[in-house]
Amino acid sequence: MEHLIEFRDIYKIYHMGDTDVHALDGVSLTVDQGEFVAIVGQSGSGKSTAMNIIGCLDVPTSGSYYLGGIDVSTMDDDQQAEIRNKMLGFIFQQYNLIAKLNVLENVELPLLYAGVSAEERHTRAVRALERVGLADKRKNLPSQLSGGQQQRVSIARALAGDPSVILADEPTGALDSRTGREVLAFLQQLNAEGNTVILITHDNSIAVKARRIVRLQDGRVIYDGPADDPRAVVQPEDREEAAV
Amino acid sequence: MNFTQSFRLALKSLSTSKMRSLLTMLGIIIGVAAVIIITSLGHGMQVYMNEEFESLGSNQVDAMILGDNDSSRHVDIEDMFALVERYPQYLSGVTPELRITAIVRHGADEFTRTEVEGVGETYYSVERNTTMEGEKLAKGRFLSYVDAQRQQSVCVVGAYLEREAFGGSALGKSLTLSGVPFTVVGVLDEYADVTEGSGDDVVYIPYTRAIRLSGTTSSEYLFSATSRETAPAAKGLVERELFKIFQDSDRYVVLTAAEMMDAMNTMLDLLMTILTLIAALSLLVGGIGIMNIMLVSVTERTREIGIRKSLGAKPKNIRWQFVIEAGTTSAIGGVLGIALGILAANLLTWILSMVLGSEDSFRAVPTLSGILVAFGVSVAIGVLFGYLPANKAAKLNPIDALRYE
Ligand SMILES: Nc1ncnc2c1ncn2[C@@H]1O[C@H](COP(=O)(O)OP(=O)(O)OP(=O)(O)O)[C@@H](O)[C@H]1O
Ligand SMILES: [Mg+2]
């Protein structure tokens, strides 16, 4: 069976003056439909870079990325936009809501670009907001919500378009631990419903909830396996990181 | 994402910074208002001139003899009268019009800039109460057939002499032309602005008297055709007669009033076009203003563009969003400009009627075509100048846009 996501020897190299930064240094990895994968690693190890490539927001310097069996580099801008719209749902650390649109309008955005009719947009967006328990805040502007509420809005937005893959880059990073656990529970529920979830996190207690952990270091995969393996969990650098 | 959605989004985005939107529109507002004012003035001018032309008699045919009229070939006044008599179905009358140089005196006053013209009785139409020039008679009578026949020393004076020389009671008094006394039998109404050298500073005398006074003969004949429709045929007859006399078509010019009007209209159209183009320059400046603000706006909203792209906005969606925003800005500017232009045109009409002192004189009337063109051009300019920033936004790389701070 072909993999949902397949990285074949992916490099992402940034040229910074004289030096080259290998954000991704030959990463090969596969993710199948229905998996829950946590990507962990110290700061600067290339987690976000990998996630952005998975999300068709960025392109690798070399190597091939197959999404649903198709080489993404052969898709044009419109096709990639279509993939982001229909197949992928993003949850960002900084929520990335549009400040001048209200909660409902923010959640409707992916449906708007999918060409869904106004009525259906409304019902689907309200339903997504109900799932995250924020239907009553639909007329609020993002700035009138707490951080946790804003993150739930961004989850509702990711859900509204019914994507099969949820990409979450440190979704709990800006939240307190209780709210963070709520968000995580939500992602687990989505995974239980059959969605593929890829999660970036610093937090070991969160990472171990995933069924599989991919650990990056200096742009390379140093561990890829079950979450309950001792090698998957805490490394000294991560502790230092957490202390900072 | 369709047009109305983009449009609503644009309105929303404009309303979030009203002052800035207004300043952005200012160039378009001024440009459109200028175009509306100029086209209104031009159209008003045209309407005014055409009405004037109708009141003068659209059946007039004007024959001018060029060069020396006193050589072996010359026009005899009697020939012109004979021509009118021969073709009564086309021509109803003719008068010579001869401008002579004569110093006008009344008592100790001397009027050097007064125009002295010798004309016949046909120069004035009793039914329409107007001369071929458009002047109306205020008092007394105009020159008669008998005046010309007997070379009477009588005259009709304009409103300027009536006021300046005679203090408002010229009728029956006399003035001298090159020392010869003339009795005032008629006074004309105000026609121009009653100043020295204006259209009100005139003296009409019988053409026979003018010929004797100046020793020259007339080089201009004003024919009346029987109607506006027969004017072209009448022109042909006059031309044929003049060719018989001169055997050279370069010696005379015959124009119908309609042709003169057409020539005037053509001139006016050209003038209006040039003025409108100059006004349109400010539309261009307005367009550049819009482009400038849109470029700033794209930069400011880079992150928003990134978010939209991450949610599946295609480049064309983003392009549309900004093009429509620019188009909406300039369209609103266009509407405001149209309102301002119409207001200004009405104000101008009011001011002109105050200055000229008459109700039905000149009206600056905004034309529908002027309004439509101004609106269309302003929208087009917005779209055109919005395209570059919009395209810049559309081409942004999603991840770079998302990371933009
Ligand atoms: N646009 C860029 N230009 C230059 N270097 C970059 C750019 N983006 C990322 N990098 C570099 O690539 C490396 C990997 O960055 P990345 O953002 O993927 O790390 P990360 O694992 O997500 O870190 P964190 O946990 O702090 O978010 C880092 O060394 C970073 O400095
Ligand atoms: Mg990161």
pLDDT, tens digit, 9 for 90 and up, residues A227-240: 887 777 655 555 44
The pLDDT value given to residue A1: 60
Contact A85 B304 (CB under 8 A): no
| Integer Cα distance of B60 and B261 in angstroms | 11
Is a pLDDT exceeding 90 seen at residue B176? yes
Q: With bands split at pLDDT 50, 70 and 90, how would you rate the model's confidence at A243?
A: very low
Contact B314 A55 (CB under 8 A): no
Taking the alpha carbons at both ends of chain A, their separation in whole angstroms is 43
Q: CB-CB: which of B12, B311, B397 is closest to A113?
A: B311
- B309 contact residues in A (CB cutoff 8 A): 57, 81, 84
| More confidently predicted of B384 and B7 | B384
The pLDDT value given to residue A49: 95
Paired tokens of A26: 């030959």
Contact A58 B5 (CB under 8 A): no
Ligand nearest to the CA of A244: 1
ipTM for the complex shown: 0.92
| Integer Cα distance of B191 and B210 in angstroms | 23
Please tell me the pTM assigned to this model: 0.73
Candidate from A49, A61, A200, A235 with most ligand 1 atoms within 8 A of CB, to mutate: A49
Is a pLDDT exceeding 70 seen at residue B359? no
Q: What's the gap in Å between the CA of A32 and the closest CA on chain B?
A: 22
- CA of B339 from ligand 2 middle (Å) equals 54
Average pLDDT over residues B302-327: 93
The pLDDT value given to residue A244: 44
The pLDDT value given to residue B226: 87
Q: Taking all residues of chain B, what is their mean pLDDT, rounded to a whole number?
A: 87
Is a pLDDT exceeding 70 seen at residue B227? yes
The pLDDT value given to residue B357: 65
Q: In what order do the strands lie in the sheet with A196-200?
A: A88-91, A165-169, A196-200, A36-41, A212-217, A220-226
Interface of A with B (CB under 8 A): 52, 55-58, 77-78, 81-82, 84-86, 90, 96-98, 100, 109-110, 112-115, 157, 161
Q: What is the pLDDT of residues B340-356, one digit of tens each?
A: 999 999 998 888 888 77
| More confidently predicted of B369 and A191 | A191
Ligand nearest to the CA of A12: 1
Interface size, chain A vs chain B, as Cβ–Cβ contacts under 8 Å: 64
Average pLDDT over residues B108-131: 89
Burial profile A104-141: b = 16 or more Cβ within 10 angstroms, e = fewer: bbbbbbbbbbbebeeeebbebbbebbebbebbebbebb
Q: What is the pLDDT of residues A12-69, one digit of tens each?
A: 999 988 999 999 999 999 999 999 999 999 999 999 999 999 999 999 999 999 999 9
The pLDDT value given to residue A120: 95
Interface of B with A in 264-303 (CB under 8 A): 303
Q: Is residue B314 less than 8 Å (CB to CB) from chain A?
A: yes
Average pLDDT over residues B156-168: 91
Is a pLDDT exceeding 80 seen at residue B204? yes
